[in-house]
Amino acid sequence: MEAIYTAEALSTGAARNGHVRTTDGLVDLDLAVPVEMGGKGGAPNPELLFASGYAACFHSALQAVARTAGKKLGDSSVGARVSVAKEGEGFGLAVELEVIIPDLPHDEAQALADQAHQVCPYSNATRGNIEVLVTVSDD
C-alpha cells in the first residue's frame, strides 16, 4: 500500500486521562475516561474521536459511491455510535452507523450505504475485527 496521507499523533500522560496531540497541532486535547467507565468525564475520549472519524469517513465514501451512481444525496448525514464492552479478559468495540438520505427511496439509500461500507477505509480496517452495523433511517 502506498500512503497518500499519514496522520501522526502522540499520547502522553495517563493514557485515557492524558493528552493527545497531532504533529501538525490540529488536534491538541486533554482526555478523560467517561463517567460510565468509572472516570470523571468532561473531556473527549478515544471512542468519541473514533466515532467522529468513522462518521466523516463513511459519509465521504457514501458521497463517492453516490457520485459514481449518478445519485444526489441532498441533505444526507451519517451518525456513528462506538460502544466499548467487556470481551473476555479485555475489551472490545462495536460500531453502529446510521445513514440518512431523505431525498432517496429507502432501498436506493440502503444500496448506496452497502456500497459505501465496501469502500470506506474505516470499514475495511474494522471488517472481521469488530461488529459494524449499518442502518438506513428515513430521518
Q: Which of these, 72, 92, 82, 69, lies nearest to 122 by C-alpha position?
A: 82
Q: Which of these, 79, 28, 91, lies nearest to 54 by C-alpha position?
A: 79
pLDDT in tens, 4-39: 999 999 999 999 999 999 999 999 999 999 999 999
Q: In the predicted model, is pLDDT for residue 139 greater than 80?
A: no
Instruction: Answer whether 0.85 is exceeded by the pTM.
Output: yes
User: Who's near 16: CB < 8 A, 6+ residues apart?
Assistant: 31, 32, 33, 39, 45, 46
How sure is the predictor about 138, in pLDDT bands with cuts at 50, 70 and 90? confident
